[in-house]
Amino acid sequence: MQQIDNEKFVFDSAVSVGAADSPNLLVKGDNKEVLPELAQTFGGKIKCVYIDPPYNNGDTYHYYPDSAPTSAWLRDIGAVLRWLRQLLTHDGSIWISIDDSEMAYLKVEADKIFGRENFGGTIVWQQRKSRENRAVFSCNHEYVLVYAKDLKSFKKSRNLLPVSRASIEARYKNPDNDPRGPWQSVTASVQAGHAVSSQFYTVVSPSGKAFEPPKGRCWAYNRERMLGEIAAGNIWFGADGQNAPRIKKFLADAKVGLTPETLWAGDDYGTTDTAKKQLLALFPDKRQVFDTPKPEELIRQIVAIASNPGEYVLDCYAGSGTTVAVAHKLGRRYIGIEIGDQMRDLVARRLALVVGGEQGGISQAVGWQGGGEFAFFEFDGGRQTATSSHTVSSVGRCETAYRRLSHARLGEEYDVTAVGGAAAVSEADVVYRAASEWSLSSADKSDCPQR
């Protein structure tokens, strides 16, 4: 049985590598039509979303023009973001690439949808290393806006960056030969701004030396807790017992890693130029490939921070297929959506090469040798499903019609802007009364109950 039980998704065995029930999905279609359908199956199941939408910078590219009024551009991307929010797990996150053209407007729109309290940060990525002398300033960077469905939950579940063994050994020692293994110490005092009286007392070390909390600070534990920690060997007073108390933190209990920073250099995470060279190497038969691809090193960093093997990654502006290629190599499940012809020309062909073990991008760094599968679907929005449209009787001649409308279509048809936002509805089915001012004549309204 295929992952998507929906007649609008037409399986293409000729393009797929694997069967229709593959957990990895490529869908050729309009994301504003595809996402509402996916929400029925994948709502609340996507751990990481990365999107690289059109930047609306006025340029014309090989696969698409990138110029629209800002209001129209924001309306379209806002509709997409609302659906993406519904697809995320509670601790899921979305990463949005953008440049200076619309960054400020996108930030405000995303704040409305996800809530400012769920804004994680702005990554500044060095997307080029050469100098552009024709411009007022040589713009060498782009941004990645990071939002979470719930930032506190995301912070708890997101992955830290790996730390070298040498760094760990430099931080964690075992000078007292504690059987619990290596540890590092942190101060046993904290700022006294919110202290209670039980945190002010004299600590006496096993050697008999007394310690008062430093000025402006108090002990992290109350007296009873501190005595228990000392008895358990969790407080360090130095080798001779004469130093101020410190709390032992054991390597065995630690979540070891580095907090991600917001400056990502091209030398570490690739550039647009290195990404384009990889595409040209993958497709030597093509004279022109995707104009603005993202490097696999950049997407690897995002996917590694935001998800774990077996979890779902989604990109609904699949472009040249970098996100799904990286997700495949890192053992994630994935969904890629793209409306353009490059879905077949580049993305599906690229994934087939990945399955075959291609060695570009991050392949050697992660030890990729090939394998896996993906299912390719063509989205046919014109097909009617059992749940797409039906009518039930109400009172007298009045009927209540059920229609499936996206947030964008709802706003376009009825000039409604209140649907969505941080409290977006969980289903795409919008119920309206045919007796309302939208569609029923005044003669017919007489038979209908008044509200």
What's the CA gap between 295 and 275, in Å, rounded?
A: 4
pLDDT value for 63: 52
pLDDT in tens, the chain (451 residues): 567 778 999 999 999 999 999 999 999 999 999 999 999 999 999 999 999 999 986 555 455 555 578 899 999 999 999 999 999 999 999 999 999 989 999 999 999 999 999 999 999 999 999 888 887 888 899 999 999 999 999 999 999 998 888 989 999 999 999 999 999 999 999 999 999 999 999 999 999 999 999 999 999 999 999 999 999 999 999 999 999 999 999 999 988 898 999 999 999 999 999 999 999 999 998 877 877 899 999 999 999 999 999 999 999 999 999 999 999 999 999 999 999 888 998 999 999 999 999 999 999 999 999 999 999 999 998 776 554 433 222 333 333 334 444 444 444 444 443 333 333 433 333 333 233 333 333 333 334 433 3
Same domain for 237 and 224, yes or no, is: yes
Same domain for 149 and 292, yes or no, is: yes
Q: Is-contact 188 220, C-beta < 8 A?
A: yes
pLDDT value for 390: 31
Does residue 24 lie within any of the structural domains?
yes
Those residues whose C-beta lies under 8 Å from the C-beta of residue 220, and which sit 6 or more positions away, are 187, 188, 189, 190, 199, 247
Does residue 143 lie within any of the structural domains?
yes
Phi, psi of 82 (to 5 degrees): -65, -40
Same domain for 295 and 154, yes or no, is: yes
Q: Is-contact 187 247, C-beta < 8 A?
A: yes
Please tell me the number of Cα atoms within 13 Å of 185 on its side-chain side. 19
Q: How many CB atoms lie within 10 A of CB 232?
A: 9
Same domain for 107 and 156, yes or no, is: yes
Listed residues 213, 231, 253: the one ending a domain? 253
Does residue 139 lie within any of the structural domains?
yes
Same domain for 186 and 311, yes or no, is: no
Same domain for 234 and 322, yes or no, is: no
Does residue 450 lie within any of the structural domains?
no
pLDDT value for 290: 76
Report which secondary-structure segment, H or E, holds 42: helix 31-42
Count of domains for the chain: 3
pLDDT value for 185: 97
How buried is 164 (Cβ within 10 angstroms: 0-12 exposed, 13-18 middle, 19+ buried)?
A: exposed
CA distances from 232 to 160, 211, 258 (A): 30, 19, 29
Task: Give Cα 198 distance to the centre of its chain.
Answer: 43
Same domain for 229 and 362, yes or no, is: no
CA distances from 72 to 14, 56, 394 (A): 37, 10, 38
Q: Is-contact 16 374, C-beta < 8 A?
A: yes
pLDDT value for 2: 67
Does residue 127 lie within any of the structural domains?
yes
Same domain for 303 and 396, yes or no, is: no
Same domain for 21 and 121, yes or no, is: yes
Same domain for 39 and 146, yes or no, is: yes
Those residues whose C-beta lies under 8 Å from the C-beta of residue 40, and which sit 6 or more positions away, are 6
Q: The domain containing residue 409 runs over which residues?
A: 389-445
- Give the CATH number of the domain where residue 54 resides: 3.40.50.150
Same domain for 151 and 185, yes or no, is: no
Q: Is-contact 81 113, C-beta < 8 A?
A: yes
What's the CA gap between 188 and 171, in Å, rounded?
A: 18
pLDDT value for 45: 98
Same domain for 156 and 261, yes or no, is: yes
Does residue 37 lie within any of the structural domains?
yes
Listed residues 192, 218, 253: the one ending a domain? 253
Listed residues 237, 253, 269: the one ending a domain? 253
Beta bridge partners of 399: 393
Beta bridge partners of 172: none
pLDDT value for 318: 96
Vertex 13, ends 12 and 18: CA angle to 5°? 125
Beta bridge partners of 98: 143
Query: What pTM was computed for the model?
Result: 0.76
pLDDT tens digits, one per residue of 272-320: 999 999 999 999 988 778 778 999 999 999 999 999 999 999 999 999 9
CA distances from 408 to 29, 115, 404 (A): 16, 19, 12
Q: Is-contact 82 424, C-beta < 8 A?
A: yes
- Coil, strand or helix: which one is 47? strand
> Among all chains, which residue has been given the structure tokens 């059992």?
386
Task: Give Cα 273 distance to the centre of its chain.
Answer: 24
- Coil, strand or helix: which one is 230? helix
pLDDT value for 450: 39
Does residue 1 lie within any of the structural domains?
no
Instruction: Write the single-letter amino acid at 419.
Output: V
What's the CA gap between 220 and 240, in Å, rounded?
A: 23
What's the CA gap between 317 and 265, in Å, rounded?
A: 24
Does residue 3 lie within any of the structural domains?
no
